[in-house]
Structure 1
Amino acid sequence: MDLLLEGRAFVVVGGSAGIGLAAARQLAEEGARVAIVARGRERAEAAVAELEHAGAAQAVAVTADVGREGEAERAVAAAAEGFGGLDGIAVTTGLLGHEPIEVADARWEEVFRDVLLGTVRSVQSALPFLRRGGGTVVTTAAYSIRAPEIARLPYASLKSGVATFTKGIAKAYGADGVRANCVCPGAIETAALQGLRARIAAERGVPPEGVLERVMAEEWHLDVALGRPGRPSEVGELIAFLLSPRAGYLTGALVNIDGGTDF
């Protein structure tokens, strides 16, 4: 399906790796212009080279930490100025907080800045550009907001805030033609889970094929209907669709992409 994205301009916050890179790659394959916002210059530039190879009409790297005051505004403005406008933003950052509730206040504040405030600042910075002609917002929460666990409660708590924030943006700016949707991934085999698969296999002296799936079911008690973790590309394709005109009447949605996980 042609997503009608050729020549359109997007910012992908956290687009240098994992789900963000997968979304940016899908946009590039559709002929879009893509700005990668990431903390690390080297990784962002490597991602840009990959997007150019995938067919992006234009790809640029912007180094910023959107959890810091003023950084999201600077990054989004730079991308919009370079593109001559902006059609959408996807925010795929916010990975801290996979730890118990008993962390220090300073750590809660760090997770707040990374998971929630980084998303809020990025979307706020994009709205003035998106409202000019209608635009799209995609944020990322998590499956775990529906089934929070004490072992990663800071993360789930702040991701719940992302979902609520996104619904509010959809309602507040729908009259301006802005659509906003929130994606809730389950266990996705990004580099972290790939590393865990290899580590478990090495520790137990078994092949890596199937070992993570067994641990998910037998030790994590994660009941996934499809019996496997997701692939970043699968989430990236969903994000690209939600950013596209093909999802023109879809807004304010909380979209699970978790392989049929319970809850």
Structure 2
Amino acid sequence: MDLGLKGRLAVITGGSVGIGLAVAEGLAAEGARILIAARGGERAGAEAARIASTFGVEAAGVAADVATAEGCAAVIAAAGDRGGADILINNAGTGSNETIMQAPDEKWQSYWDLHVMAAVRLARGLVPQMRGKGGGVVLNNASICAVQPLSYEPIYNVTKAALMMFSKNLATEVIGDGIRVNCINPGLVLTPDWVKTAKQLTAGSGGDWQGHLQGVAEEHADIRRFASPEEVAHFFVFLCSDKASYSVGSTYFVDGGMLKTA
């Protein structure tokens, strides 16, 4: 099936690992050109080189902390140097662990900058590039926690909920320019962060991190397992494609039955 992605430039933040890297690979497999943005420029460059070699597409990495205005500007400039973005995947993010009563202003602000302002700034810079090319796609990677929060990470929950609402507002604003905006709320995805956390939590009790993760899956997801990053990436790739031409301003859950509401 031709998804109509050949030659399009896809910008993926947090694209050197986990879901972002899987999305980059999935888009490259469809012939898209890839621009990976990550704080670790060396890793971004290495993964881009691997993708270029594996899929025979143009791919590059850019060192950028998108939680900062300067980092976003670097990504926007890199896309402009390559003819302008057709696709933006706002994927950069990380979990949190705090209570509302104890978390300082600085922690709230840092997550707001990473999960919300990065998407705002990149939209302001890349939407005009898309407009000049006749259209494009913006996908925001939020979380099931945007609507079904986990108690130990209120800052993550709140900022991801804001990202979901930003998606709806941006979609309304730019659909007249042929730019489709949607939000994806994944559930449990087996990223390196989950593995690292599980190993830390089980280090003093035998080290059965796989068993710990299986317990998490059985508690939360009807499917009783984590998704692979590639499983979630398939959905991202579809929403980027011409086959999703009527998908506008929506939030899609890819969660293995974790969401407990209709």
Shift of 1:200: 5.6
2:29 equivalent in structure 1? 29
Shift of 1:196: 3.8
Query: Cα deviation per residue 1:170-225 (whole Å; 9 max; x = unaligned)?
Result: 111111101000010111110122234445666444765554212443xxx42x11
1:249 equivalent in structure 2? 246
Is the 8 Å Cα contact of residues 195 and 209 (structure 2) preserved in structure 1?
Answer: no
Distance 1:29-1:228 versus aligned 2 partners, 3 A rule: same
Is the 8 Å Cα contact of residues 72 and 118 (structure 2) preserved in structure 1?
Answer: yes
Is the 8 Å Cα contact of residues 65 and 71 (structure 1) preserved in structure 2?
Answer: yes
2:140 equivalent in structure 1? 139
* Matched letter for residue 38 of structure 1: A
Is the 8 Å Cα contact of residues 84 and 126 (structure 2) preserved in structure 1?
Answer: no
Q: Which shows bigger deviation, 206-215 or 102-111?
A: 206-215
Taking the aligned partners of 1:177 and 1:51, their CA distance within structure 2 comes to: 29
1:70 equivalent in structure 2? 70
* Matched letter for residue 13 of structure 1: T
DSSP 3-state at the match of 1:51: helix
Is the 8 Å Cα contact of residues 35 and 61 (structure 1) preserved in structure 2?
Answer: yes
Distance 1:63-1:252 versus aligned 2 partners, 3 A rule: same
Percent of aligned positions with the same letter in both sequences? 34
* Matched letter for residue 163 of structure 2: V
1:140-179 counterparts in 2 under 5 A?
140-179=141-180
Is the 8 Å Cα contact of residues 30 and 56 (structure 1) preserved in structure 2?
Answer: no
Shift of 1:10: 1.0
* Matched letter for residue 90 of structure 2: V
Stretches of 4+ moved more than 6 A in 1?
A: none
Distance 1:187-1:98 versus aligned 2 partners, 3 A rule: farther
Number of aligned pairs? 258
The answer as to 2:86 corresponding to 1:93 is: no
Taking the aligned partners of 1:45 and 1:184, their CA distance within structure 2 comes to: 28
Is the 8 Å Cα contact of residues 183 and 256 (structure 1) preserved in structure 2?
Answer: yes
Is the 8 Å Cα contact of residues 8 and 32 (structure 1) preserved in structure 2?
Answer: yes
1:233-244 counterparts in 2 under 5 A?
233-244=230-241
Q: Which shows bigger deviation, 18-27 or 141-150?
A: 141-150
Taking the aligned partners of 1:96 and 1:206, their CA distance within structure 2 comes to: 22
* Matched letter for residue 21 of structure 1: L
User: What runs of 5+ residues in structure 2 fail to find an aligned partner?
Assistant: none
Distance 1:206-1:157 versus aligned 2 partners, 3 A rule: closer
Taking the aligned partners of 2:145 and 2:42, their CA distance within structure 1 comes to: 31
Taking the aligned partners of 1:42 and 1:202, their CA distance within structure 2 comes to: 30
Distance 1:116-1:24 versus aligned 2 partners, 3 A rule: same
User: What runs of 5+ residues in structure 1 fail to find an aligned partner?
Assistant: none
Is the 8 Å Cα contact of residues 32 and 56 (structure 1) preserved in structure 2?
Answer: no
Query: Cα deviation per residue 1:202-261 (whole Å; 9 max; x = unaligned)?
Result: 6444765554212443xxx42x11101111111111111111111111010101011110
1:107-146 counterparts in 2 under 5 A?
107-132=107-132, 133-146=134-147
Q: Which shows bigger deviation, 142-151 or 163-172?
A: 142-151
* Matched letter for residue 254 of structure 2: I
Taking the aligned partners of 1:174 and 1:239, their CA distance within structure 2 comes to: 19
Shift of 1:96: 4.5
Is the 8 Å Cα contact of residues 27 and 56 (structure 1) preserved in structure 2?
Answer: no
Taking the aligned partners of 2:188 and 2:243, their CA distance within structure 1 comes to: 26
Query: Cα deviation per residue 1:84-108 (whole Å; 9 max; x = unaligned)?
Result: 2321110101215332222011111
Shift of 1:49: 2.1
* Matched letter for residue 100 of structure 1: T
